[in-house]
A and B are shown apart, each in its own frame.
Chain A
Amino acid sequence: MLEVKDLAVAFGSIAPLSGVTFSLAKGETLGIVGESGSGKSLTAMSIMGLLPMSDGRVTSGSIVFDGQELTTLNESDYCKLRGGRIGLITQNPMTSLDPLKKIGTQVDAVAILHLGMAKKKARANTVDILHTLRIPEPALICERYPHQMSGGMKQRIVIAMALAADPDLLIADEPTTALDVTVQAQIIRLLDDLVKQRGLALLLITHDMSVVAQTCDRVVVMYAGRAIEQGPVLDIFDNPQHPYTQALVGCIPRDLKDGEKLTSIPGTVPTVLNYPEGCKFHPRCTRAQNICTTVQPELDRNGDSAVACHFAGASI
């Protein structure tokens, strides 16, 4: 359904994203994990064709959605895909809705635009969707304004907008980061149910490993603008190959005893302006050798998994 191959994005001379490769099948949930600044959101925006207009652009690689190449797609065709076949859920529901327009109007617009529905029919469609999202009194909610609703409720409205035209692919960019922990669980469960009921493909971008474990079939781990490892979720958690993934998995607190310290990865993610030569992770890597400082390791496929490391292996 979605094939991203060797995707690279540049803003002028700065190249924050390169060598991103992954694929997503119908009915599958793919997680993209990584620290802040690793290029997760940028990947999502490239797929949506919503890189900041000024100077952000895809410099190489391809994004194929349902047989259609997106990197060369013109704007008006892209508008049909966005909201129509690809839905986007963004990070901060508090600022994601137009504060001057009623909830109903904002959700209706999607069905009116993509399904050619008349206003009344679009509203019925909206009420239906709000209902499946377990929003109480959907018809009443349609007459409300965004500022009258809680964050969790607004995020459901954002999800409703993403679903209104019955898309095939849903991209959720940190959908729970700005929400309360209790609401986070509800939203994640909701997304999970939607995927199962509607056979949607879900691209879930998050930095929360527990969310990944709960919902994803497969995982892509990103570091400094590159996809460094991917595979089925169980493999990634139980048998990570890349030292970074191993460190990341090692950071998940389990069976912590009183007074025991949480583990963390020493150092920080390099910013776009000071990406190191060779493997981007080598300054923080315990396994780094000379070759790591000069040669960028390629993504090495092995069945359903892939890893980009000169010394990939299970040993920790």
Chain B
Amino acid sequence: MLLRYIFFRVLMLIPVSISISVVIFMIVHLLPGDPIDNLIRIGSSPGDRALLVTKYGLDQPLFVQYFRWVGAMFQGDFGEAIVLRRPVADLISYNLPFSLSLGAMAFAFSSVVGIILGTISATTRSALVEQFVRGFILMGSTVPGFWLALLMILFFAVQLQIFPVSGAKGWDSLVLPVLTIGFGGVALVARVTRVALMDARREDFVTLLHAKGLSSGTILFRHLIPHAMLPVVTILALRIGWILGGAVTVEFVFGRPGLGSLLIRALGQRDYPVVQGCLLMLALAVMLGTLIGDVAQAAMDPRIREAKT
């Protein structure tokens, strides 16, 4: 049943991928500006310019350029960066691991701490603890990442000098970026967990669980938390893609390489192939994230598993 679900779910990715690639291609090519302007030496003749345009195939009709692009990608060729003059595949494979390590750490941090905090705030009888967690949730959801990043640098890196100010050398350079991205994530996950748990507790079947003689602890861990995890998994899945791409500002403040910084730089230079490659990676991450989330939900909930896809 689960395998069947996964099969159909993966099948659905095909039309999604096609539309995404078209959209990415169109967006980039409809942007005003031209990478040749950044490339060409001052004083070159229109002839030199035409030569370059032909070299990168920019004189071809758009749909020809699209099919060339897609065709090459199937052979692992993401094109050549026009301004950076290196294969896009190389640029991405250099930057991706930085994004992945940061993303994975931040993801793990925000899920674990968020779920624990959310559970505590939903189950505690102490008004003080509850107020504290709620305050934390409010702060975490509203404080912008780049600002928090600056504060973190000021305090931990400049004042206390525990962690490096910027860069990506060594594990300790990961701590502050992970905390910065994780902070918002923890708040989000905690909030969703809290609401989901309180909703689950109001379900009719909980009365009957008590009537069976189960202790509150057993009911919480065996029944309520599995229920509450359904919406939490959805949120987490959406965040997988978000963390990879949305870490741009944080990567920038901490001066880390990564997909986000690569994308920002390429956008400024109208470096089409790089922008396309990065966007495609991020879209892929979002797609994979949702896929993983959906499959996890199906594994947890028999009703979803059996729903006709």
A and B are interacting partners? yes
Binding site for B on A (CB under 8 A): 48, 50, 75-76, 79-84, 87-88, 90, 92, 95-101, 109-110, 113-114, 145, 147, 158, 161-162, 165
Instruction: Using A96-B204, A99-B301, A100-B227 as known contacts, say yes or no to A110 and B210 having CB atoms under 8 A apart.
Output: no
Q: Which residues of B contact A50 (CB under 8 A)?
A: 207, 210-211
Binding site for A on B (CB under 8 A): 203-205, 207-216, 223, 226-227, 300-303, 306
Give Cα A87–Cα B205 distance, bound, in whole angstroms: 14
**Complex contact B207–A161 (CB within 8 A):** no
Instruction: Using A95-B205, A98-B223 as known contacts, say yes or no to A147 and B302 having CB atoms under 8 A apart.
Output: yes
Give Cα A79–Cα B306 distance, bound, in whole angstroms: 35
> In the complex, what's the smallest C-beta–C-beta distance from B97 to chain A, in angstroms?
37
Q: Which residues of A contact B216 (CB under 8 A)?
A: 75
**Complex contact B208–A79 (CB within 8 A):** no
User: What is the total of A-B residue contacts with beta carbons within 8 Å?
Assistant: 72
Q: Which residues of B contact A82 (CB under 8 A)?
A: 210-213
Give Cα A158–Cα B207 distance, bound, in whole angstroms: 12
Instruction: Using A96-B205, A100-B227, A145-B303 as known contacts, say yes or no to A113 and B213 having CB atoms under 8 A apart.
Output: yes
Chain B residue at minimal CB-CB distance from A49: B210
Chain A residue at minimal CB-CB distance from B300: A100
**Complex contact A110–B223 (CB within 8 A):** no
Q: Which residues of A contact B210 (CB under 8 A)?
A: 48, 50, 82
Give Cα A162–Cα B212 distance, bound, in whole angstroms: 7
Which 3 pairs between the two chains have the least Cβ-Cβ distance? A83-B213, A88-B211, A95-B204
Known: A99-B303, A145-B302. 18 other contacts (CB 8 A): A79-B214, A81-B213, A82-B210, A83-B213, A83-B214, A87-B211, A88-B211, A90-B207, A95-B205, A96-B204, A96-B207, A98-B205, A98-B209, A99-B205, A109-B212, A113-B214, A114-B213, A145-B303
Q: Which residues of B contact A88 (CB under 8 A)?
A: 208, 211
> In the complex, what's the smallest C-beta–C-beta distance from B124 to chain A, in angstroms?
13
Chain B residue at minimal CB-CB distance from A97: B205
Give Cα A99–Cα B203 distance, bound, in whole angstroms: 11
- 21 A-B contacts, Cβ less than 8 Å apart? A75-B215, A76-B215, A79-B213, A81-B213, A82-B210, A82-B211, A84-B213, A90-B207, A90-B211, A92-B204, A100-B226, A100-B227, A100-B301, A109-B212, A113-B212, A113-B214, A145-B302, A147-B302, A147-B303, A147-B306, A161-B208
Q: Which residues of B contact A80 (CB under 8 A)?
A: 213
Give Cα A42–Cα B223 distance, bound, in whole angstroms: 25
> In the complex, what's the smallest C-beta–C-beta distance from B227 to chain A, in angstroms?
7
The contact of A110 among B213, B215, B306, by CB within 8 Å, is: B213
The contact of B302 among A100, A109, A165, by CB within 8 Å, is: A100
Chain B residue at minimal CB-CB distance from A144: B302
Give Cα A147–Cα B212 distance, bound, in whole angstroms: 20
Q: Which residues of B contact A76 (CB under 8 A)?
A: 215
**Complex contact A161–B205 (CB within 8 A):** no
Q: Which residues of A contact B306 (CB under 8 A)?
A: 147
Q: Which residues of A contact B226 (CB under 8 A)?
A: 100
Give Cα A79–Cα B303 distance, bound, in whole angstroms: 30
**Complex contact A79–B215 (CB within 8 A):** yes
**Complex contact B212–A110 (CB within 8 A):** yes
Give the residue among B207, B213, B214 with the most A Cβ atoms within 10 A: B213
Q: Which residues of B contact A110 (CB under 8 A)?
A: 212-213
Q: Which residues of A contact B213 (CB under 8 A)?
A: 79-84, 110, 113-114, 165
Q: Which residues of B contact A109 (CB under 8 A)?
A: 212, 214
Q: Which residues of B contact A83 (CB under 8 A)?
A: 211-214
> In the complex, what's the smallest C-beta–C-beta distance from A44 to chain B, in angstroms?
10
Chain B residue at minimal CB-CB distance from A106: B212
Chain A residue at minimal CB-CB distance from B230: A100
The contact of B212 among A100, A145, A161, by CB within 8 Å, is: A161
Give Cα A161–Cα B211 distance, bound, in whole angstroms: 10
Q: Which residues of A contact B209 (CB under 8 A)?
A: 98
> In the complex, what's the smallest C-beta–C-beta distance from A152 to chain B, in angstroms?
17
Chain B residue at minimal CB-CB distance from A158: B208
> In the complex, what's the smallest C-beta–C-beta distance from A174 to chain B, in angstroms?
13
**Complex contact B208–A90 (CB within 8 A):** yes
Q: Which residues of B contact A48 (CB under 8 A)?
A: 210-211
Instruction: Using A83-B212, A158-B208 as known contacts, say yes or no to A95 and B203 having CB atoms under 8 A apart.
Output: yes
> In the complex, what's the smallest C-beta–C-beta distance from B211 to chain A, in angstroms?
4
Give Cα A162–Cα B203 distance, bound, in whole angstroms: 19
The contact of A97 among B208, B211, B301, by CB within 8 Å, is: B208
Give Cα A96–Cα B207 distance, bound, in whole angstroms: 8
> In the complex, what's the smallest C-beta–C-beta distance from B88 to chain A, in angstroms?
45
Q: Which residues of B contact A162 (CB under 8 A)?
A: 211
Q: Which residues of B contact A79 (CB under 8 A)?
A: 213-215
> In the complex, what's the smallest C-beta–C-beta distance from B301 to chain A, in angstroms?
6
> In the complex, what's the smallest C-beta–C-beta distance from B160 to chain A, in angstroms?
45
Give Cα A95–Cα B209 distance, bound, in whole angstroms: 12
Q: Which residues of A contact B215 (CB under 8 A)?
A: 75-76, 79
Q: Which residues of B contact A113 (CB under 8 A)?
A: 212-214
Give the residue among A82, A90, A100 with the most B Cβ atoms within 10 A: A100
Chain A residue at minimal CB-CB distance from B302: A145
Q: Which residues of A contact B300 (CB under 8 A)?
A: 100
Q: Which residues of B contact A158 (CB under 8 A)?
A: 208
Give Cα A68–Cα B302 distance, bound, in whole angstroms: 42
**Complex contact B302–A99 (CB within 8 A):** yes
